[in-house]
């Protein structure tokens, strides 16, 4: 398995609280991604990073922000969590940007917003 | 816009029976395609990619451009094949990297 660690693995919090999820990689890969997984939707891209301090939005970015201050760490922040953000969040990494380069995924963070 | 369709939410087969998990895509151009597998509460793992044309765990997938399909097949299902399977289509992003467009997934259940 690729060296990807997500923390925390599980979190329960209340509506309106800030939440930060961390993705840490030991592969020195340039590209990092955050997806959410929901029944009936598969996985959808939230934000991605193509280098330190270089990030961009995915298809479901509203309510989320990200930061990447080091190659190995990619943080996802929910500034004010809502119940609709209850989901399983996956971090992924890839080495090159070519279309045939697959992504490798972390174990996921199960987030519940009450 | 690119799209991936997996029409079956659940596919139930008996052990030893053939398996076909359907995937259709919408993409202008020559696509790359992946199959990912997710065993219960585990991370997604790359199972197959179109470009390598390899067989992993007895699974194969052929790209059919005429039918815009990339169905996953296995001649004899095993109990350990029970998992969620996702078909995914990569798309190059501004700034590099690629976005994966996933289908909604098919849960394969292999019964004894």
Nearest C-alpha neighbor of B101 from the set B26, B20, B11: B26
The pLDDT score that the predictor gives to residue B104 is: 95
| Chain B closest-CA separation from residue A10 CA (Å) | 12
* A17 in Cβ contact with A112 (< 8 Å): no
Residue in chain B closest to A39 (alpha carbons) equals B104
| Chain A closest-CA separation from residue B13 CA (Å) | 21
Q: Note the pLDDT tens digit of each residue in B29-76.
A: 778 899 999 998 889 999 998 877 777 889 999 889 899 999 999 999
How many angstroms from the chain centroid is the CA of residue B87?
4
Give dist(CA B87, CA B32) in Å, integer: 11
* B20 in Cβ contact with B85 (< 8 Å): no
Using pLDDT thresholds of 50, 70 and 90, give the confidence band for residue A95: confident
Query: A90 and B98 in contact by Cβ < 8 A?
Result: no
The pLDDT score that the predictor gives to residue A99 is: 60
Residues of B contacting chain A (CB within 8 angstroms): 4, 6, 32, 34, 36, 42-46, 49, 51, 86, 90-100, 102-105
Query: A48 and B96 in contact by Cβ < 8 A?
Result: no
A98 touches chain B (CB under 8 A): yes
**Which residues does chain B have within 8 Å of residue A31's beta carbon, measured at their own beta carbons?**
96-98
| Chain B closest-CA separation from residue A83 CA (Å) | 21
For A80, which DSSP code? S
Q: Note the pLDDT tens digit of each residue in A57-83.
A: 999 999 999 999 999 999 999 999 999
Which H helix or E strand runs over B110? strand B106-111
A71 touches chain B (CB under 8 A): no
Nearest C-alpha neighbor of B98 from the set A108, A47, A103, A107: A103
Q: Note the pLDDT tens digit of each residue in B95-108.
A: 777 888 999 999 99
Residue in chain B closest to A36 (alpha carbons) equals B102
Instruction: Let me know the angle formed at the C-alpha of A91 by B27 and B93, rounded to the nearest 5 degrees.
Output: 35
Give dist(CA B61, CA B91) in Å, integer: 20
Query: B46 and A56 in contact by Cβ < 8 A?
Result: no
């Amino acid at each position: 398995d690729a060296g990807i660690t997500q923390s925390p693995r599980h979190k329960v919090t209340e509506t309106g609280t800030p939440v930060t999820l961390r993705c840490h990689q030991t592969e020195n890969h340039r590209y990092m991604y955050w997806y959410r997984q929901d029944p009936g939707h598969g996985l959808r891209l939230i934000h991605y990073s193509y280098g330190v301090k270089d990030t961009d939005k995915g298809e479901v970015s509203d309510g989320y922000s990200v930061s990447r201050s080091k190659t190995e760490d990619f943080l996802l922040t929910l500034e004010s969590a809502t119940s609709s953000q209850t989901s399983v969040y996956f971090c992924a990494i890839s080495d090159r940007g070519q279309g045939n380069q697959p992504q490798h995924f972390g174990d996921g963070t199960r987030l519940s917003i009450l | 816009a690119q799209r991936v369709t997996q029409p079956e939410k659940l596919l139930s087969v008996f052990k030893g029976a053939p398996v076909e998990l359907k995937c259709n895509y919408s993409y202008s151009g020559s696509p790359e395609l992946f199959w990912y597998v997710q065993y219960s509460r585990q991370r997604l793992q790359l199972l197959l990619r179109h470009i390598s044309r390899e067989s992993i765990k007895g699974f194969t997938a052929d790209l059919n451009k005429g039918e815009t399909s990339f169905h996953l097949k296995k001649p004899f299902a095993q109990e350990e094949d029970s998992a969620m399977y996702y078909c995914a289509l990569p798309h190059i992003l501004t700034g590099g990297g690629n976005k994966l467009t996933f289908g909604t997934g098919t849960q394969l259940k292999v019964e004894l």
